[in-house]
Chains A and B, each alone.
Chain A
Amino acid sequence: MVSLFRLYKLNILKQATEAILSYPLRSFFCLFGISLGIVSITLIVASTDGANYKANQMLSDFGPDSMIIFGGHEQQRAARLRLNTITLQDMAAIKNSIDGCYETIPMIAMRNVLVSFENNKWQTLVIGSTQDYFTSWGWRIATGSAFTEKESFNYENVTVIGSDVAEKLFNGDNDKAIGKTILVKNKPVRVIGVLKERGTGFGSFRLDDRIIMPIDTVMRKYLKEDKYISAVRARFHGDLDQKIKDVKALLRIRHNLKGEMPDDFTIRTAEDAKKFLLVLQGTLVLFLGIAGGVALIVGGFVMANLFMISVQERRREIGIRRAFGAKRGHIILQFLLEAILLSLAGTFLGLILGYFAGLVLSLYTSIPIMFSYKIFWLASLTATIVGIVAGFVPAKKAAALDPVEAIRA
């Protein structure tokens, strides 16, 4: 058997390239079929990696040991009906009577609140919570500081603003923001800190577009509320699934829900968000898997057919090579090499197209995309296999030609 090194030294790759280039239209069709398949593979791997990365990030951001309890039933939430059914007393009960509960944080949200500084205006999300909010959710303070228990207790008008809000109101100058008084729903509030940027959350939702204020201030001064809150974040030691059941049972009793009556609250964990993301990504993988598989099979068939024609047209060349000592194995190797080369060229094209398709996908959908070298190797391997499979029958046919007949053709 001939060594690949020898073929390489004798520039057989250049010859194979020349052979491919002498039939441009034919080669283009092969190339195109293969590259479509590779685009699919690229997107499958990139979206799988992206989704896994994102899911794990969400899990660690959210906290794998935590749950969030919202007011309102699942279906009411889906209909954007936000009912406040959770009370501060519920929160205290969870903390006191559920075993292993080591942290509860109340949260209250006001959406689309107008905030302004001088002439800069912006609509944002206002969250009222305790000083523990920052550490519990893993928020870092970029400049300034968080508020304290005392400030909350005194209903002080202070806030820590997200980096998006700092950008809109203070053109991103954090130092300038500290100590300034902004208007939040027409009430003056002093900026005491700016959060470190966190980037996009789930989908295209910006985590950094929010301001945090003491929950007592928000409840009393904005909402005239002293009982109901939007949600509770609770963290537990021990089996989270069991804790979910315990919390559910406790809240049903406290809310007087009997028998078949539906819950008037919803419990979410990081697993739920992760599941949703993976289902979304799973649908994409299924679709692309089918499309990509079909593209590769069609590409392979087109390639096999075109190589059949090629073998027929290049019979004389095969005869000549045989006359000068090429064994059958050499002829097979030559045609396989050409098929693989063409496949790899298709892969290259497919990777470039796939990269741009991935960018488009991540811009216009909530599917996260992450490129890695793994894609390159996987695509190359797939292309090589397609090349070998598609090239094998024509190559065998070429090798089986009688040299005397072939050279006379």
Chain B
Amino acid sequence: MLPLIQLKDIKKSFFVGNRELPILRGINLELYKGDMLSIIGASGSGKTTLMNIIGLMDRASSGTYLLEGKDVSSLTDDELSSLRNQYIGFVFQQFHLIPYATALENVIVPTIYSDKPLKDVKQKAIKLLQELNMGNRINNKPTQLSGGEQQRVAIARALINDPEIILADEPTGALDSKTSHEIMDIFLELNRHGKTVVIITHDINIANMCKKIVKISDGIII
């Protein structure tokens, strides 16, 4: 079976002045449809950089990234944007909602940049929010919502375009343990319904809830 994402010897360096600073030093990773994968690592291990590359936000310095078998390394900025829109649903530690927009408006943000028909976009967003128990908060702004509620809105936003992959960067990092469990339950439930989920975390308890665990340390998978 063709992996959804296949990373071959991915390297990434940053330059600090003239000094080359290697962050990723040859990552090989395969992600299959329906996976529930966690990438665990300490801060500075390179896991966020890896997430940015998987999420098509950043380009590798070298190596091959195949998305459904197609090499993405030579794609233009616009093409990468389109792929992000279609394939990736991000969930961030700090929720990253647009402060002046309501829950509903935040959820439909990805549809603005999509080519999919507009019919029923609002109904779909409301339905998603209802499924995440946010049905009565659709017109609230982020400041009027608790952390857990904001993360539910963020998850609805990640799902609105039916992406192949939910890519969550420390999704529970800013939440208390009870809310963390509720959010993780949502991810597990999504995975049970066939969604591919990747969770980046430094918390072994969170990682242990996932089917597969990949540990990254000092830029390589161990």
Q: Which residues of A contact B (CB under 8 A)?
A: 2, 6-7, 9-12, 14-15, 18-19, 21-22, 316-317, 319-330, 403-404, 407
Nearest CB of chain A from residue B78's CB, rounded to whole Å: 5
Say yes or no for B212: interface residue by CB 8 A criterion. Answer: no
A7 to B78 alpha-carbon distance, docked (Å): 18
Q: Which residues of chain B come closer than 8 Å to A12, judged between CB atoms?
A: 112
Interface flags for B94-121 (1: CB within 8 Å of A; 0: not) read 0011111100010011111110001001
- Give the residue of A2, A19, A329 whose beta carbon is less than 8 angstroms from that of B112: A2
Q: Quick check: A15 and B84 within 8 Å, CB to CB?
A: no
Instruction: For the complex of A and B, list the 8 residue pairs with the smallest distance between their C-beta atoms, beginning with the closest.
Output: A325-B85, A325-B113, A324-B110, A18-B100, A327-B81, A22-B100, A327-B78, A326-B113
Q: Quick check: A404 and B57 within 8 Å, CB to CB?
A: yes
Of B88, B90, B99, B100, most A-chain CB atoms within 10 Å = B100
A6 to B108 alpha-carbon distance, docked (Å): 12
A324 to B78 alpha-carbon distance, docked (Å): 12
Nearest CB of chain A from residue B91's CB, rounded to whole Å: 10
- Given contacts A10-B108, A15-B105, whether A323 and B121 have CB atoms under 8 Å apart is no
Say yes or no for B92: interface residue by CB 8 A criterion. Answer: yes
A21 to B101 alpha-carbon distance, docked (Å): 11
Q: Quick check: B58 and A404 within 8 Å, CB to CB?
A: yes
Q: Which residues of B contact A (CB under 8 A)?
A: 52, 55, 57-58, 77-78, 81-82, 84-86, 88, 90, 92, 96-101, 105, 108-114, 118, 121, 157, 161
Nearest CB of chain A from residue B200's CB, rounded to whole Å: 14
* Cβ-closest chain A residue relative to B92: A407
A322 to B52 alpha-carbon distance, docked (Å): 12
- Given contacts A6-B118, A404-B58, whether A326 and B98 have CB atoms under 8 Å apart is no
Q: Quick check: B118 and A320 within 8 Å, CB to CB?
A: no
A326 to B110 alpha-carbon distance, docked (Å): 8
- Given contacts A10-B118, A323-B57, A328-B77, whether A15 and B113 have CB atoms under 8 Å apart is no
* Cβ-closest chain A residue relative to B109: A324
Q: Which residues of chain A come closer than 8 Å to B100, judged between CB atoms?
A: 15, 18-19, 21-22
Q: Quick check: B77 and A6 within 8 Å, CB to CB?
A: no
Nearest CB of chain B from residue A409's CB, rounded to whole Å: 11
Q: Quick check: A10 and B98 within 8 Å, CB to CB?
A: no
Q: Quick check: B113 and A330 within 8 Å, CB to CB?
A: yes
Q: Which residues of chain A come closer than 8 Å to B81, judged between CB atoms?
A: 322, 325-328
Q: Which residues of chain B come closer than 8 Å to A18, judged between CB atoms?
A: 100-101
Q: Quick check: B101 and A15 within 8 Å, CB to CB?
A: yes
A12 to B108 alpha-carbon distance, docked (Å): 10
Q: Quick check: B118 and A9 within 8 Å, CB to CB?
A: yes
A11 to B92 alpha-carbon distance, docked (Å): 25
Q: Quick check: A325 and B110 within 8 Å, CB to CB?
A: yes
Q: Quick check: A10 and B121 within 8 Å, CB to CB?
A: yes
Q: Quick check: B121 and A324 within 8 Å, CB to CB?
A: no
Q: Which residues of chain B come closer than 8 Å to A403, judged between CB atoms?
A: 57
Nearest CB of chain B from residue A218's CB, rounded to whole Å: 78
Q: Quick check: A2 and B113 within 8 Å, CB to CB?
A: yes
Nearest CB of chain A from residue B89's CB, rounded to whole Å: 8
A9 to B55 alpha-carbon distance, docked (Å): 28
What are 9 of the A-B contact pairs (CB < 8 Å)?
A: A9-B118, A11-B105, A15-B98, A21-B100, A320-B97, A321-B109, A323-B84, A324-B85, A327-B81
- Give the residue of B52, B77, B85 whose beta carbon is less than 8 angstroms from that of A404: B52
Nearest CB of chain B from residue A220's CB, rounded to whole Å: 85
Nearest CB of chain B from residue A29's CB, rounded to whole Å: 19
Q: Quick check: A327 and B108 within 8 Å, CB to CB?
A: no
Nearest CB of chain B from residue A332's CB, rounded to whole Å: 12
Q: Which residues of chain A come closer than 8 Å to B86, judged between CB atoms?
A: 325
Q: Which residues of chain B come closer than 8 Å to A325, judged between CB atoms?
A: 81-82, 84-86, 110, 113-114, 161
Q: Which residues of chain B come closer than 8 Å to A19, judged between CB atoms?
A: 100
A15 to B106 alpha-carbon distance, docked (Å): 10
- Given contacts A2-B112, A2-B113, A407-B92, whether A327 and B105 have CB atoms under 8 Å apart is no
Nearest CB of chain B from residue A84's CB, rounded to whole Å: 78
- Give the residue of A9, A21, A320 whose beta carbon is less than 8 angstroms from that of B96: A320
